[in-house]
Amino acid sequence: MRRLAVVLALLGLLTFPAAASVGASKITVYAAASLTEVLPKIDPAERYSFAGSDQLAFQIQQGAPADVYAAASPKYPDQLYQQGLVLRPVVFATNKLILLLPASNPAGITSVFDLKKPGIKLVIGQKGVPIGDYTRTILKNLGLSSVLSNVVSQETDVKNIVGKVVLGQADAGFVYLTDAKPVAGKVKVVRLPGWAQPKVKYEIAVVKASSNRAAAQAFVKRVLAKTGRATLAAAGFGLPKLP
């Protein structure tokens, strides 16, 4: 009997961790496509859904089971906050726009002003998608709104733009500075004037309907913590002052 009790005790010890892992629940983070590489480095344990910030906001409005929302523009988190769907958003990162070219650069582009050449195949984001709105702003600031006539495709998120440029399906595309790093060696980058840059701010918020609000708040704290900010900076994001 004593021997049986010892065996049963050992089995209990062996099965306890498995039972604990079953009870642990992951949260679901809805995040802008431009955060695809960096957020899993900050917390690889969670579930992520990456897409255009506008699409994700719409899904949350429709009741999608998101716990955290991270967007590439304050526009949509602020709207959701006003609608009572998320807790107060916090700005956690900034970014800049660049012009991305295929490594072969068949159009011979050396400046953003070369986009005025006839026949240039330009790809941008759709209106309403943060990268699309930022692109239209910087073109207006540069006096280059006329180059929109060279647009051959408008994409639903920034990673689609990157993909078309890498594959040579476009001569150029407007993306974020941080999007160039994951495809280094396959692209060329044209920097854009600082004075023309729109203010690109990323906001993060806990979704009120989250079934695990404590874990969602813990995730936001990890993003805002020293290690999280260092990871963002290493990926090329700017770090705003935190409230």
Task: State CA 100 to chain mean position distance.
Answer: 17
Q: Which domains does the chain have, with CATH numbers?
A: 26-94+201-234 (3.40.190.10), 97-196 (3.40.190.10)
Taking CA atoms, 31 is separated from 80, 97, 137, in Å, by 14, 19, 23
Task: Specify the pLDDT at position 243.
Answer: 81
Q: What is the pLDDT of residues 122-147, one digit of tens each?
A: 999 999 999 999 999 999 999 999 99
Task: Specify the pLDDT at position 187.
Answer: 98
What does the pLDDT average to over 135-160? 98
Q: Assign 230 a pLDDT band (cuts: 50, 70, 90).
A: very high
Residues facing residue 225 across a β-bridge: none
Q: Are 43 and 217 in contact (CB under 8 A)?
A: no
Give the helix ranges, DSSP H, for the chain.
2-23, 39-42, 53-61, 75-82, 130-141, 158-166, 213-224, 226-234
Q: Does residue 65 carry a pLDDT above 50?
A: yes
**Mean pLDDT for the chain overall:** 91
Distance CA(176)–CA(94), nearest Å, equals 10
Task: Specify the pLDDT at position 24.
Answer: 53
Task: Specify the pLDDT at position 35.
Answer: 98
Task: Specify the pLDDT at position 23.
Answer: 39
pTM over 0.75: yes
Q: What is the pLDDT of residues 162-209, one digit of tens each?
A: 999 999 999 999 999 999 999 999 999 999 999 999 999 999 999 999
Q: Are 34 and 182 in contact (CB under 8 A)?
A: no
What does the pLDDT average to over 59-66? 97
Please state, for a pLDDT cut of 90, what percent of the chain lies above it: 89
List the structure tokens of 194: 């600082």
